[in-house]
């Protein structure tokens, strides 16, 4: 669980840079500022309210604790949490009590505000607390938006958040870090027909200390939709425990899209992702540098059939099935119950030949799979030669997972597998660029004014245009308007995109 602060900050910045462009301006809570809200010299740390740190924008009332604000709210209200650390009774174990209200920071899409608006659960093994407990049938109109949730500990299920009993809130733009559970889900637990929408969240440094799902565990007919999330450095610790980042159990049919899962560790199966008696779906996920004993990237167990489409699964480590493993129950129970996995349009290191497929299990190896180095802009690496099961193990250093335009993962995916609601990649760029989707969470988006393809529009591109200036011919490179002549309108286009820089160059 070691990670330099620099790396975490880079990840957070990268993730939140993505977040900035994920929503149209009209969705950015514009016009919500109150006369009693004041940011001094643009420093969010000095944002305060006069009568308490909570402000209900619907009733214009202020409160001392989050729970007090929720208890006095009505459907549709928006409760704004002031910058600062919120702890103690009333600011943890928060219960929406079925209310369809939004609880958010002053600017959920500003990473500095999110990092500075903290629910500090202050939990411990002797004094268990988590951030939120949804258990009253909340639906997607119960919203937690743009908060940091940390220091949850001591609970068996859900270090940061528990969704239970048909409770399916929306959790978005949150930083969920440094939470522990004794059993299932260091971060978010969902069980018993609970299907939260978890979007644009960062999970880092959470652990199920003796259990399942370092970041997220879905259990018992619960199928969360997990989109645009970054999960790094989470763990399902202890022998016999599974799902370093995500664990799906008993019809935990989660859908993950555009997620980056890296540097997570499980004590037993599924360093990144683990399915038990479940049929989850992973689309456009980048799963690199995770570790476990079986299935370092993804594992399938007991009549599961996880489907992986448009994913990158590489650089994971395990004694058995470094990238993927299909494990028959006979290994543990002495009774044979097989399992499946379906893989198509994925880049899997070692291909199907390197997969562990136990007797009677079925690896459905579909069309479009490749085994080629994605050429990440900055590859991650294992920080020493020791494996996770060795003493003195140190872990995976997460890199920059963006794809350069000449990556073999560019334009190698299946467009028809992308859910209709998903129009953006993890950067917030268009999900399908150049007519065909890329593999992994990133789409490599180029700009036509970048004539030499080096990822930036600058004088080198201007030189190409100058060379073709006022020429009339077919196929001129700088004829952006495609009218057979390089002229003012083409120059205007280049000038408009001047200093444009590709995400993979940043």
Residues 155, 128: contact at Cβ < 8 Å? yes
Q: How far apart are CA 59 and CA 227, in angstroms?
A: 32
Tell me: does residue 483 bind Ca ion (CB under 5 A): yes
Exposed, middle or buried, 371 (CB in 10 Å: 0-12/13-18/19+)? middle
If the CB atoms of residues 315 and 442 are measured against Ca ion, the closer one turns out to be 442
Decide: is 469 part of the binding site for Ca ion (CB under 5 A). Answer: no
Q: Does 438 bind Ca ion (CB under 5 A)?
A: yes
**DSSP 3-state assignment of 463?**
helix
Binding region for Ca ion (CB under 5 A) out of 101-109, 178-186, 279-287, 417-425: 417-425
The Cα–Cα gap between 287 and 259 comes to 8
Choices 19-27, 101-109, 239-247, 496-504; region in contact with Ca ion by CB under 5 A? 496-504
At 489 the three-state DSSP class reads helix
Go through the chain and tell me how many residues it has. Answer: 506
Residue from 369, 407, 490, 502 touching Ca ion (CB under 5 A): that is: 490
* Cβ contacts of 101 within 8 Å, gap of 6 or more: 70, 73, 74, 75, 76, 77, 78, 79, 141, 142, 143
Stretch near Ca ion under the rule CB under 5 A, chosen from 38-46, 199-207, 346-354, 445-453: 445-453
Closer residue to Ca ion in complex, CB, 315/479: 479
Contact 173, 181 (CB under 8 A): no
Number of neighbouring beta carbons within 10 Å of residue 458: 16
Evaluate whether 280 touches 256 at the Cβ level (below 8 Å). Answer: yes
How far is 418 from 443, CA to CA, in rounded Å?
A: 13
Please, what is the minimum distance in Å from the beta carbon of residue 476 to Ca ion?
Answer: 8
Here the tokens at position 462 are 């201007």
Q: Residue 10 phi/psi, 5° resolution?
A: -60, -45
- Number of shown-chain residues binding Ca ion (CB under 5 A): 18
27 vs 175: CA distance, rounded Å: 20
Nearer to Ca ion, 94 or 409 (CB): 409
411 is an interface residue for Ca ion by CB under 5 A: yes
Residue 433 interacts with Ca ion (CB under 5 A): yes or no: yes
Q: How far is the CB of 113 from Ca ion (least distance, A)?
A: 24
Q: Does 417 bind Ca ion (CB under 5 A)?
A: no
Cβ contacts of 365 within 8 Å, gap of 6 or more? 343, 344, 352
The only residue of 204, 443, 464, 465 in contact with Ca ion, by rule CB under 5 A: 443
At closest approach, how far in Å is the CB of 426 from Ca ion? 7
| Residue 264 to residue 291: CA distance in whole angstroms | 7
Compare residues 142 and 418 and give the one whose CB is closer to Ca ion. Answer: 418
Of 452, 472, 492, 506, the one binding Ca ion (CB under 5 A) is 452
Among 57, 375, 417, 481, binds Ca ion (CB under 5 A): 481
- The bridge status of strand 396-397 relative to strand 381-382 is antiparallel
3-state secondary structure of 47: strand
Which of these segments, 61-69, 223-231, 334-342, 405-413, binds Ca ion (CB under 5 A)? 405-413
- Beta-ladder partners of 170: 143, 197
Q: Least separation, in Å, of the C-beta of 13 and Ca ion?
A: 15
Q: Which of 145, 228, 395, 479 binds Ca ion (CB under 5 A)?
A: 479
Judged by CB under 5 A, which of 107, 157, 425, 468 binds Ca ion?
Answer: 425
Nearer to Ca ion, 294 or 442 (CB): 442
Window contacting Ca ion (CB under 5 A); options: 149-157, 365-373, 381-389, 459-467: 459-467
Measured from the CB of residue 414, what is the shortest distance to Ca ion in angstroms? 12
> Are the C-beta atoms of 345 and 364 separated by less than 8 Å?
no
Minimum distance between the CB of residue 451 and Ca ion, rounded to whole angstroms?
Answer: 6
**Interface characters, 143-172, with Ca ion (x: CB under 5 A):** ------------------------------
Residue selected from 129, 268, 314, 503 as contacting Ca ion according to rule CB under 5 A: 503
Of residues 157, 442, 465, 502, which one binds Ca ion by CB under 5 A? 442
**Distance of alpha carbon 73 from alpha carbon 406, whole angstroms:** 53
- 429 near Ca ion, rule: CB under 5 A: yes
347 binds Ca ion (CB under 5 A): no
Q: Which residues bind Ca ion (CB under 5 A)?
A: 411, 425, 427, 429, 433-434, 438, 442-443, 450, 452, 454, 461, 479, 481, 483, 490, 503
């Amino acid at each position: 669980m070691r990670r330099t602060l620099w790396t975490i900050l880079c990840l957070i910045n990268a993730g939140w840079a993505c977040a900035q462009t994920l929503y149209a301006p009209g969705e950015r809570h514009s016009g919500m500022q109150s006369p009693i809200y004041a940011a001094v010299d643009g420093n969010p740390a000095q944002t305060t309210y006069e009568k308490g740190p909570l402000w209900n924008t619907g009733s214009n009332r202020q409160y001392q604790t989050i729970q007090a604000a929720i208890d006095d709210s009505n459907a549709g209200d928006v409760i704004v949490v002031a910058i600062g650390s919120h702890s103690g009774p009333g600011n943890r174990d928060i219960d929406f009590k079925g209310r369809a209200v939004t609880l958010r920071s002053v600017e959920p899409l500003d990473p500095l505000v999110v990092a500075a608006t903290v629910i500090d659960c202050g939990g411990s093994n002797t004094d268990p607390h988590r951030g939120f407990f949804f258990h009253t049938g909340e639906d997607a109109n119960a919203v937690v938006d743009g908060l940091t949730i940390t220091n949850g500990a001591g609970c068996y299920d859900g270090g940061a958040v528990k969704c239970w009993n048909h409770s399916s809130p929306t959790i978005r733009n949150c930083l969920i870090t440094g939470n522990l559970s004794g059993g299932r889900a260091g971060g978010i637990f969902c069980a018993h027909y609970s299907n939260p929408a978890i979007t644009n969240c960062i999970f880092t440094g959470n652990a199920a200390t003796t259990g399942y799902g370092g970041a997220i565990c879905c259990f018992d007919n619960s199928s969360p939709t997990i989109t645009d999330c970054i999960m790094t450095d989470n763990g399902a610790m202890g022998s016999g425990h599974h799902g370093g980042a995500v664990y799906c159990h008993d019809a935990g049919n989660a859908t993950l899209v555009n997620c980056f899962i890296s540097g997570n560790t499980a004590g037993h199966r599924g360093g990144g992702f683990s399915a038990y008696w479940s049929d989850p779906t992973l689309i456009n996920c980048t799963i690199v540098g995770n570790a476990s004993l079986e299935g370092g990237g993804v594992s399938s167990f007991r009549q599961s059939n996880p489907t992986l489409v448009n994913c990158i699964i590489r650089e994971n480590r395990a004694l058995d099935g470094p990238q993927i493993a299909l494990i028959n129950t006979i290994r543990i129970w002495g009774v044979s119950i097989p399992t499946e996995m379906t893989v198509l349009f994925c880049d899997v290191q070692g291909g199907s030949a390197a997969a562990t497929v136990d007797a009677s299990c079925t690896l459905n190896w579909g069309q479009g799979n490749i085994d080629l180095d994605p050429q990440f802009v900055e590859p991650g690496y294992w920080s020493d030669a020791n494996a996770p099961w060795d003493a003195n193990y140190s872990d995976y250093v997460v890199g920059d997972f963006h794809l350069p335009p000449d990556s073999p993962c560019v334009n190698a995916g299946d467009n028809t597998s992308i859910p209709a609601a998903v129009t953006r990649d993890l950067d917030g760029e268009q999900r399908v660029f150049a007519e065909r989707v890329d593999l992994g969470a990133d789409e490599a988006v180029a700009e036509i004014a970048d004539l030499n393809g080096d990822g930036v529009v600058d004088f080198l591109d201007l030189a190409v245009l100058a060379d073709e200036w006022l020429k009339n011919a077919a196929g001129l490179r700088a004829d952006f308007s495609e009218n057979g002549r390089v002229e003012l309108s083409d120059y205007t286009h280049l000038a408009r995109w001047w200093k444009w820089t590709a995400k993979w160059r940043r």
